[in-house]
Structure 1
Amino acid sequence: MSAPVLELTGVVKEFGAQGAPLRILHGIDLTVDHGELVALVGPSGSGKSTMLSLIGTLDRPTAGSLRFEGQDVAALSEARLSALRAERIGFVFQQFFLLAGISAVTNVATGLLYSGVGRAERLERAAQALRLVGLGHRLDHKPHQLSGGEQQRVAIARAVVGRPALLLADEPTGALDSVTGSEVVDLLRELNANGTTVVVITHDQELARSLPRQVGIRDGRIAFDSAAPEAGGCL
């Protein structure tokens, strides 16, 4: 049996001086298995952004254990963490962060720059990823020639072009109208159905309720987890 994609045990995160640190996360326990589609939902200031940094291996816990596919993040060097992010984790943000002046396919290919893959293969895999998200007819279009929804699809294609084990989507519909946002959520569902583990970080309770599993975070603690209904709590 393979290890979970994510396994957090007693995770604490503090910032500031040792004498008077500010504790943001208070003993988080969370497991996400391969193939799950999870909403991490909570209000502003709940600790969602800190959770994103930790589960995306952009930061390390102050205390407790965080394992990614069985690997203890605390035991990995910065170089190995960078390689893990490049190979196994895809990020999608509210802002698209596309490079202006270059085509959609070239933007997506940047997701493979540190993979050791040659340029021709990078472009071919980028084209495949764009077809996967329904933009096979927009390969040569530049960001300013695309709608907001299309730009987010390009960003998603860039995140999944390396075939990551985990896709982290931080407020992926926040900059979109409701119809386009729903289309992006449908795309995330489709990617999940094809085997990608997806964690959506959001304050949008309606979006969270539409996903199979909801994990609520408030004041740096897990308030509820729909996978463990005996724990109580609701959106």
Structure 2
Amino acid sequence: MMLAKAPIRVLIVDDHAVVRDGVAALLERQPDMEAVGEAADGAEALAQFRALAPDVTLMDVQMRGAGGLEATEAIRRLSPQARILVLTTYSGDAQAIRAIRAGAAGYLLKSCIRRELLDAIRTVHGGGRYISAEIAHQLATHALDEPLTDRELTILRLLADGHANKEVGYRLDLSTDTIKSHLKTLYAKLGVDDRTHAVTVAARRGYIER
């Protein structure tokens, strides 16, 4: 007699209880999956991972307290074989790249949960990668783009906070002319003409949070 396969044990990490409850209910209807635990932030996710050793961890990115990318890195340091599937509302290519570099095996938009979540969990559990089609398109579109430097990202965040060039220069100990030069390069990389558009595009692609 063949023994039934053990169900895929899933840890759900999200700072919204309604999302955790919805995903848990979906998983419990599957004969090959079970929700074994929940966490509301990155620190709790790490603690729950230690306690439960799930097969797959579903990880939100932006949460109150410790974030999902930091938790992903911490879990992968603890267990390099951990299978982590990011669930997020953010479709930006820059954020997806950060998640993959942090150790995520998949990146799925919450808008696709009903259609794709179960297949994504099975794929990631089986050792594969799963990237939402919309995310894959963004990654392909920007694959050859020159990445932003740490200095450019810092300037972007200061722009997003509403600081003028002179204030940005003061905070970074740089001249206004140097800031203008950085902005010229930054605009070219993002394909924009002004600071408002730069902040909008950077937020959409996941370079900065708004």
Structure 1 length-normalised TM: 0.32
Structure number with the higher helix fraction is 2
For the pair shown, which has the larger CA radius of gyration, 1 or 2?
Answer: 2
Structure 2 length-normalised TM: 0.35
